[in-house]
Amino acid sequence: MYRKIVVAVEIGALANGEATFRKAASLLDSNGEIILLNVVEDVPTYLGVDIPVDLVENAARDAEDKLQRLIVATGIPARIEISHGRPASGIIASAEANKADLIILSSHMPDFSNYFIGATADRVVRHAKCSVLVDRRKG
């Protein structure tokens, strides 16, 4: 059982995130904590002129709202964390800052450019200082 689990949720694949969240709850110690994490990617500077100013802020608010609804729908207590930047870096930074002993993230079935596991999952597995569970999902 794990004391502190970071569950990385991609808002665009919330159904996968719910399944991963439920899996985390089944692995959690009775006094443990789950951190539901979404990393909002920053807009590249070369696109900055063409993108509405509040796009990233709106994405963060939307992510927090959807994660809160996920907590209510599942009845699983968790703390929500929204960070900004590159997904793999944000996931690893959250795990380190929270002293997590497990990261769980789902990974789509990869294509040839990232055959073994998804690109984000691959980076997290390679660089995390704690255990990582990659929950393989179709779609």
pLDDT at 138: 61
**Token pair belonging to 33:** 């904590």
The CATH class, in words, for 2-136 is alpha beta
Q: How confident is the model at residue 54 (pLDDT cuts 50, 70, 90)?
A: confident
Structure tokens at 76: 């699983």
| Two tokens, residue 26 | 């089944």
Nearest to 90 by CA among 53, 42, 44, 43: 42
Which pTM does this prediction carry? 0.88
Domain residue extents for the chain: 2-136
Residue 55's pLDDT band, with cuts at 50, 70 and 90, is confident
Quick one: pLDDT band at residue 114, thresholds 50, 70, 90?
very low
* Beta-bridge partner residues of 134: 105
Neighbours of 69 (CB within 10 A): 11
